[in-house]
Amino acid sequence: MDLLNTLVEKGLRRELPSREEALAVLATSDDELLDVVAAAGKVRRQWFGRRVKLNYLVNLKSGLCPEDCSYCSQRLGSKAEILKYTWLKPDEASKAAAAGVAGGAKRVCLVASGRGPTDRDVERVSQTIGAIKEENADVEVCACLGLLSEGQAERLKAAGADAYNHNLNTSEATYGDITTTHTYADRVETVRHAQGAGLSACSGLIAGMGESDADLVDVVFGLRELDPDSVPVNFLIPFEGTPLADEWNLTPQRALRILAMVRFVCPDVEVRLAGGREVHLRTMQPLALHLVNSIFLGDYLTSEGQEGKADLDMIADAGFEVEGTDTTTLPGHRGGGCDSPCGSAPADGAEPAESAEPAVPDNASARTDLVTVRRRGAGTDLAPNA
């Protein structure tokens, strides 16, 4: 039995692929790409049908972070010319969130730069959660505030937070090359704090930082072990003024292979296409909808995204539908609403995939013109992109 058929069967059984199989997905050639997408698409449809969940980011506090994460435009010492502002007031954050909800977002993600929240910060965010829920009772609220201390996750849960995001970002073996002010273990501990408090855990990765295939597989297997409900897959946005400004390592084909590998390893999890999709997938974004079941609508934390209407048009044109607030995202065995598989049954016929080295572009093919610093929405007087 060939690689792709094996991976489809394992995905439908929620069985973990081997490391060798995950590496083989990343090593497939561009000629085999559509076969890879079709195979992973069978797994995606089995558990999530053709639904796409929309998420909306609100950057509560931008820039001036004391941590030294090399990929981040808000890092200590960053020279990226991003928006910088202190905490939004609860009514300001609620207004920003409402724009995303009006655009179709089911989840609002409240993000603040920094190592982690103080107790006063938790109280401030709790008031913001209350303001958002008062206006939009059905919206999911996810907080992303950095490393959590004892008891803080419980306070956020009591305030009405539904989820907590804290990404692993890269493999444990290479984490020290990316960040020195905290550790991979610190991040794992925060995800476990969130899970222990009854929050839905959201934890993902950043691809394109110069990591190897083995690093990518390691971090995704680490995520599978943590078992978050949501796995955001970010593609590095190489901001000028950050240490990774010259890391242009991704092609659209490479990005799709990474998403397919994540889907095979995390078949029944909300896999979210996150930051960097416009920069690296470009016109091939619709193909990614066959692999992921969740995307961010509009802008990101410090960079602008595709227009919200273009996102909605893309979803419709690709034959998918926006997931409504009355639909549970996760399948029943993960605490969702479907007691049986939520999508279609698998079909046979995937073509075999042979190992090949992935194509690596030179910098001449990089589209640096697609990185646009956010100048609208939260922290400005201009209308947001939603």
Q: Return the SS3 of 356.
A: coil
Residues with catalytic roles: 65, 69, 72, 109, 142, 202, 272
User: Rounded mean pLDDT of the chain?
Assistant: 91
- pLDDT greater than 50 at residue 360: no
Q: What is the pLDDT of residues 55-73, one digit of tens each?
A: 999 999 999 899 999 999 9
147: tokens are 């490393």
**Each residue of 87-119: pLDDT tens digit?**
999 999 999 999 999 999 999 999 999 999 999
3-state secondary structure 112-179: ECCCCCCHHHHHHHHHHHHHHHHHCCCCEEEEECCCCCCCHHHHHHHHCCCEEECCCECCCCCHHHHC
Pair 272, 323: CB distance under 8 Å: no
State the pTM of this model.
0.88
Euclidean distance between CA atoms 51 and 323, whole angstroms: 5
Q: Can you say how many angstroms the Cα of residue 354 is from the centroid of all Cα atoms in its chain?
A: 29
DSSP 226-270: H--SEEEEEE----TTSTTTT-----HHHHHHHHHHHHHHSTTSE
| 304, 372 Cβ separation under 8 angstroms | yes
Q: What pLDDT, on the 0 to 100 scale, is given for residue 340?
A: 46
